[in-house]
């Protein structure tokens, strides 16, 4: 069953206001009994539709070799495996910190899953103290992300981690 949301990603609101609306919806949408995968899938759909990014999704860290494996996402087809330390997502895992890329063509080693992506933001995903993956956001626009996006997205990821059941 689809969940109708009271906003539209094309609505003329400042991104900060959109994050506030999305945060309220996210708090109501989470389902304690559904587990991580279902909640992560809904979070991706919520962020993707509410913010209108080109690609929104998770890559999960495979514990045995550190490879990132495609998780729940919205947008065009994506790379399924990203080696540890490769591309923006792999660099985020290596550094254990958010990485903001205003122009993906200027990022050494950028993996172009889509040639239409112009800027990117990747945030680490934790389960307690353990890094378990990343949230990857891509935009068609150059310089579309800033520190305010990192700050606004952190609470979404913090609340999602309580649903983690492993990969």
> What is the pLDDT at residue 42?
97
Q: Give the CATH class of 15-163.
A: alpha beta
d(CA 133, CA 35): 16
Instruction: State the pLDDT confidence band at 84, using cuts at 50, 70 and 90.
Output: confident
d(CA 21, CA 71): 25
> Does the pLDDT of residue 126 top 80, yes or no?
yes
> Does the pLDDT of residue 74 top 90, yes or no?
yes
> Does the pLDDT of residue 7 top 50, yes or no?
no
Three-state DSSP at 150 gives helix
> What is the pLDDT at residue 5?
52
Percent of the chain surpassing pLDDT 70? 87
The model's pLDDT over 53-66, given as tens digits with 9 standing for 90+, comes to 999 999 999 989 99
The model's pLDDT over 10-38, given as tens digits with 9 standing for 90+, comes to 545 689 999 999 999 999 999 989 999 99
Tokens of 43: 């979070």
Q: Domain spans of the chain?
A: 15-163
Per-residue CA distances from 43 to 74, 84, 137 (Å): 10, 25, 13
Q: Please, are residues 55 and 76 in contact by the beta-carbon 8 Å criterion?
A: yes
> Does the pLDDT of residue 115 top 50, yes or no?
yes
């Amino acid at each position: 069953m689809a969940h109708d949301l009271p906003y539209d990603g094309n609505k003329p609101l400042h991104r900060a206001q959109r994050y506030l609306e999305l945060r309220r919806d996210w708090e109501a949408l989470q389902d304690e009994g559904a587990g991580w995968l279902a909640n992560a899938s809904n979070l991706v759909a919520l962020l993707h539709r509410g913010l209108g990014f080109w690609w929104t999704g998770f890559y999960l860290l495979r514990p045995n070799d550190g490879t990132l494996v495609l998780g729940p996402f919205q947008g065009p087809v994506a790379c399924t495996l990203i080696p540890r330390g490769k591309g923006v997502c792999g660099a985020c895992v290596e550094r254990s910190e958010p990485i903001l890329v205003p122009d993906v063509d200027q990022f050494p080693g950028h993996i172009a899953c889509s040639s239409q992506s112009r800027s990117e933001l990747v945030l680490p995903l934790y389960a307690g103290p353990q890094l378990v993956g990343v949230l990857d956001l891509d935009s068609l626009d150059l310089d579309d992300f800033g520190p305010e996006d990192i700050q606004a997205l952190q609470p979404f990821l913090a609340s999602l981690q309580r649903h983690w059941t492993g990969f």
